[in-house]
Amino acid sequence: MKKFLLHPMTITVGVIVVLSSLPFVMPSQDMAKWSDKELRETAISLNMLPVPKTYKEMLKVVDNPENPLTREKIALGKKLFFDTKLSRDKSINCATCHILEDGGDDNIPTAIGFSGRANPHHLNSPTVLNSALAKYEFWDGRAKDVEEQAGGPVQAPFEMNMTPKEVEDRLNKDSDLKDEFKKVFNKDRVVFGDVQKAIGAYERTLLTRGAYDEFLDGDDSAMSTSAKRGLTLFITKGCKGCHAGMSVGGQIIVKFPLRRYLEDYLGAILNPKLSIKDNPYPFENLGQYYGRDEKQFFREPILRNITKTKPYFHNGAVKDIKEVVRIMSKYQLGDEFNKKQIDDVVEFLKTLEGKIVEYR
């Protein structure tokens, strides 16, 4: 009996049983109960700030010293954002994959570009809305700002499939566009770097405001009781640790998933197709994409308008926002939310839906 109790397998199983039972034997902490004023002040203190209402305030938040915003540059960037000349067969533009009226993405699992080509890694399009508030762009965070990001899709063979020289040659043949570029950049020829700067300037103005911003501005009725509970959970459970800032995301590169569980490994043993090595995510590994340096590090998504940008995760494998919250609470926080908590967090996320501010 003593040998059995000291057997490594017995000890391992015992440890697992004890750890698994901790949530049931340890007293659970009650959720913080803040007044509306306290909740608002807490969110603001954590830099989860409201999006500015005016052009002047917007400039303080998103202007780029390396690409100073002007109204003329923004207008030129808007024109280019919707111009199909930037794609090889002139069939698509930036707005094809970034539908501004519907969350700023394309609402399909994988981006489709030039000649119907799909992203080879089954990556979907992140939202362009509020992306200027992020510190990193693309799923692996390889671009530092929207200006740098703007050059990527234009050149990708499975997106717009153009070279910088081809873009320059095509735009320099358009006398009207060439004149606009000269007025903005004071150059006799259009150069690709200025195309990126103009598009980036426009994208910097694509900020949205919604019920959450109204709540932060002092309107207690802008958010429901459930949404306020969701915001409280979001703060106290640790979601805000990654999804931070005015954009509520896009500020850090983080490993995903951070945790795996016994059932994940048991499932892999019972079904070799679910190998943790081959399928490291808690959903189908469509596209075999592993993030930065292939080490499962991703730029965590911007959560503004997240309820309008399904399907979710880098490969669009999950369609239900409630399932996303469950997965993230379990595999990132190590504290799987119950149904009521999930419902409350989703109600909070709905308050992050917003309309593009018209900075006149």
Tens-digit pLDDT profile for residues 312-323: 999 999 999 999
Q: Given this chain, do its domains 30-51+209-355 and 55-203 carry the same CATH topology?
A: yes
User: Rounded distance, CA 237 to CA 345, Å?
Assistant: 11
pLDDT band at 29 (very low <50, low <70, confident <90, very high): low
The pLDDT confidence band at residue 6, using thresholds 50, 70 and 90, is: low
What is the average pLDDT across 334-346? 98
Cis status of the peptide bond prior to 157, with omega within 30 of 0: no
Average pLDDT over residues 285-310: 97
Active-site option among 66, 72, 147, 159: 159
pLDDT per residue as tens digits for the range 142-152: 999 999 999 99
Neighbours of 204 (CB within 10 A): 26
pLDDT attached to residue 14: 46
Q: What pLDDT, on a 0 to 100 scale, did the predictor assign at position 13?
A: 40
Query: Is 72 assigned a catalytic role?
Result: no
Model pLDDT for residues 45-74, shown as the tens digit of each residue: 999 999 999 999 999 999 999 999 999 999
Residue 114 CA to residue 92 CA, distance in Å, equals 7
DSSP, collapsed to helix, strand or coil, labels residue 19 as helix
Percent above pLDDT 90 for the chain: 86
User: Domain ranges in the chain?
Assistant: 30-51+209-355, 55-203
Residue 71 and residue 242: Cα distance in Å, rounded? 33
Asked if pLDDT for residue 157 goes beyond 70, the answer is yes
Q: For 30-51+209-355, CATH number?
A: 1.10.760.10
Higher pLDDT residue, 350 or 24? 350
> Tell me: domain 55-203, CATH 3.30.1360.70, correct?
no
Strand partners, 89: none
Query: How confident is the prediction for the chain on average, in pLDDT?
Result: 92
Q: Say yes or no to pLDDT of 309 above 80.
A: yes
From residue 360, give the alpha-carbon distance in Å to each of 74, 75, 230, 353. Answer: 11, 11, 34, 21
CA atoms within 13 A on the CB side of 191: 8
